[in-house]
């Protein structure tokens, strides 16, 4: 009887221990599943917030673009007509020459405004497509003669949605803008190509570069690029060092 009790007790204790371990495993797996789902939800929520923010930025840029095109550009046109009329009413050769110079300058401002208006207008960029929009951007930079810019397109590019194309264009635009504003570079090259089911976009300059470990180096522009890359579910890589230029590249899954 005692032996039977000991055997039964041993079995019960062992089963109890095994049962507890099994309960722990099941509960922990459920908990892990819950945390994984929560992380996915958080990720989706963050992406939604990001998308809304980027959409708001696009709206603002489109509004500015419209304002430049419909208002300021028209006013400049009107100014040009008035100067032309003024020049016709005077016989003074010096005044005529000055009026011609002012008209030339206004034409230049109008042309720059038109370029800027196009760059800011998401609908215009979507209608052009990424490749064409980048080509235009390169043309504007070269026309401004501040630096030499070239665009290299490698192979057949995959079809992307207009939203994704616009996000990629905005990243390139931001990188180009940073290079123009801060780098002091004389050359800028933009590469767009696809390999291994990934689309690669890189913007490289030969400017002064900066220390990427310096926390002050990541301004709003850099944050915007990061956000756009993450909205594309892509990876943004910024490589730079003082005196060695800067390379901004983004890789996205096709």
Partner 1 sequence: MSFDVRFYVELCTLLFASVAAILRYKYLDWGGRYLCFWVLASLVTEIVAFYTAHVYKTNSLAYSVFGFVEVVLLCLFFRSVIDVFRRRKALIFVAIAMVILGLLNMLYLQPPKELNTNFIILEGFLIIGFCLFGLFRLLLYDGELDLFRNSNFWSISIVLVYWAADFLNIGLYNMLDRELSEKIGFVRDTIWALTLIVYSALAILFLNYRKLNKGSE
Binding mask 110-129 for partner 1 (x = CB under 8 A): --------------------
Q: Helix, strand, coil % (nearest 5) of the chain?
A: 70, 15, 15
Query: To the nearest 10°, the Cα dihedral for 141, 144, 148, 149?
Result: 10
134 close to 152: Cβ distance less than 8 angstroms: no
229: its two tokens: 């890359």
109 close to 148: Cβ distance less than 8 angstroms: no
CB of residue 233 vs partner 1: minimum separation in angstroms? 22
6 binds partner 1 per the rule CB under 8 A: yes
What are the Cα distances from residue 188, in Å, to 196, 203, 242?
26, 7, 17
Where helices occur in 121-249 by DSSP H, the ranges are: 122-128, 130-144, 162-178, 220-231
CB of residue 40 vs partner 1: minimum separation in angstroms? 13
Q: Report CA torsion sign: 220, 232, 59, 72.
A: positive
Which of the residues 224 through 243 are near partner 1 (CB under 8 A)? none
**Cα(62)–Cα(85) distance, integer angstroms:** 34
Residues pairing with 237 in the sheet = 249
85 binds partner 1 per the rule CB under 8 A: no
78 binds partner 1 per the rule CB under 8 A: no
Nearer to partner 1, 31 or 123 (CB): 31
Nearer to partner 1, 32 or 123 (CB): 32
The stretch near partner 1 (CB under 8 A) out of 3-11, 123-131, 146-154, 231-239 is: 3-11
27 binds partner 1 per the rule CB under 8 A: yes
CB of residue 49 vs partner 1: minimum separation in angstroms? 24
Interface residue with partner 1, options 30, 36, 55, 253 (CB under 8 A): 36
List residues binding partner 1 (CB under 8 A).
2-3, 6, 9-10, 13-14, 16-18, 20-21, 24-25, 27-29, 31-32, 35-36
């Amino acid at each position: 009887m005692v032996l039977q009790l000991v055997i039964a007790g041993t079995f019960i204790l062992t089963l109890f221990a095994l049962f507890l371990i099994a309960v722990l495993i099941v509960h922990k797996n459920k908990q892990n599943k819950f945390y994984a789902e929560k992380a996915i939800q958080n990720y989706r929520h963050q992406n939604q917030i990001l998308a809304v923010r980027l959409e708001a930025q696009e709206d603002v840029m489109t509004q500015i673009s419209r304002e430049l095109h419909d208002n300021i550009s028209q006013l400049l046109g009107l100014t040009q007509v008035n100067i032309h009329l003024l020049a016709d009413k005077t016989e003074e050769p010096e005044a005529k020459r000055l009026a011609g110079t002012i008209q030339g300058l206004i034409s230049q401002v109008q042309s720059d405004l038109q370029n800027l208006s196009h760059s800011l207008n998401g609908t215009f960029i979507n209608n052009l497509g990424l490749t064409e929009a980048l080509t235009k951007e390169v043309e504007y930079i070269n026309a401004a003669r501040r630096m030499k810019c070239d665009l290299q397109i490698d192979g057949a590019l995959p079809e992307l949605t207009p939203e994704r194309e616009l996000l990629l264009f905005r990243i390139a635009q931001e990188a180009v803008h940073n290079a123009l504003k801060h780098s002091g570079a004389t050359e800028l090259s933009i590469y767009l190509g696809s390999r291994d089911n990934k689309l690669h976009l890189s913007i490289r300059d030969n400017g002064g570069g900066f220390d990427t470990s310096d926390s002050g180096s990541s301004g709003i522009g850099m944050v915007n690029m990061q956000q756009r890359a993450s909205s594309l579910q892509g990876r943004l890589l910024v490589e730079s060092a003082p005196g060695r230029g800067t390379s901004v590249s983004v890789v996205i899954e096709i």
